[in-house]
Amino acid sequence: GAVVSQHPSRVICKSGTSVKIECRSLDFQATTMFWYRQFPKQSLMLMATSNEGSKATYEQGVEKDKFLINHASLTLSTLTVTSAHPEDSSFYICSARAPSGGVNEQFFGPGTRLTVL
Residue ranges binding other proteins (CB under 8 A): 6, 34, 41-44, 46, 49, 91, 93, 95, 101-103, 105-111, 113
| Min separation Cβ 75 and other proteins, Å | 18
Q: How far is the CB of 61 from other proteins (least distance, A)?
A: 15
**How is residue 27 annotated by DSSP?**
S
DSSP 34-94: EEEEE-TTS-EEEEEEEETTS--EEPTT--TTTEEEEEEETTEEEEEE-S--GGG-EEEEE
Q: By C-beta, is 76 or 82 nearer to other proteins?
A: 76
Which residue lies nearer to other proteins by CB, 82 or 115?
Answer: 115
Please, what is the minimum distance in Å from the beta carbon of residue 42 to other proteins? 7
Q: List all residues 6 or more positions away from 45 whose beta carbon is below 8 Å from its beta carbon.
A: 36, 37, 38, 39, 59
Nearer to other proteins, 9 or 83 (CB): 9
Q: Which is nearer to other proteins, 49 or 89 (CB)?
A: 49
